Amino acid sequence: MNVISHSVHQDKNLSRKLGFKWVSSINKLLKESDIVTIHAPLNESTKHMINMGNIKNFKRGAYLINTARGEIVDNAALLYGLDNGIWAGAGLDVLEGECNIKEEKEFLHSEKECDWRDVIEAHLLLKEKNVIVTPHCAFYTQEALMRILDTTLDNVNGFLKGRVINRVA
């Protein structure tokens, strides 16, 4: 398979080592990919990175997989893409507004503001035949757990030696 990637920070050595190519823009990645997987933190620049404005750039019949953060993909765009045959399907480990789904009963009895559109769209996604939704557990593999443990041990050892190993801003 040919693997392509897009990132604001492109590591040429990593791409040579792992055998993938960087592309210059997210739209180029969307146009050329049969499967798009999202691996990005949620921040101002990634919120709704997949949206109504760029779903037209997806290769028709592609699959979208989001294991990062739900708010990176706009639910309305996701539903539109699925309903209009842009995507053949989606694999979602996260949903936009998923915290609202878990707490629906609380929202009904509280004065807290809630965007019910997120809840409704998420429920519609759960019913789509070509969507697989997992309970935010994509990290739960032997390899991922070992990386988490190794990183934790490195951080603790670094702290004990007075060095910062993995600074999280």
Query: 62-66 and 4-5: which strand pairing?
Result: unpaired
* Gap between the Cα atoms of 142 and 131, Å rounded: 25
pLDDT at 100 (0 to 100): 62
> In the numeric block, which tokens belong to residue 40?
């990005």
pLDDT band at 146 (very low <50, low <70, confident <90, very high): very high
Tell me the catalytic residues: 69, 98, 136
E strands present in 87-152: 87-92, 131-133
Strand segments (E) across the chain: 4-5, 21-22, 35-38, 62-66, 87-92, 131-133
Q: Degrees (nearest 5) of the Cα angle 42, 87, 129?
A: 100
Per residue in 22-62, pLDDT (tens digit) is 999 999 999 999 999 999 999 999 999 999 999 999 999 99
> What are the phi and psi torsion angles at 31 (to 5°)?
-70, -30
* Cα–Cα distance, 71 to 66 (Å, whole number): 10
Cβ–Cβ under 8 Å, residues 97 and 119:
yes
Mean of the pLDDT values across residues 136-145? 80
CA–CA distance, 125 with 116 (Å, rounded to integer): 14
Q: Domain residues of the chain, as ranges? A: 33-138, 139-169
**Highest-confidence range of 68-77, 103-112, 159-168, by mean pLDDT?**
68-77
Classify 33-138 by CATH class: alpha beta
Residues 6 or more apart whose CB falls under 8 angstroms from that of 98 comprise: 70, 122, 136
Q: Model confidence over 97-132: pLDDT tens digits?
A: 766 655 556 656 666 566 666 667 777 787 888 999
Q: Quick one: pLDDT at residue 140?
A: 76
Tell me the pLDDT band of 144, cut-offs 50, 70 and 90: confident
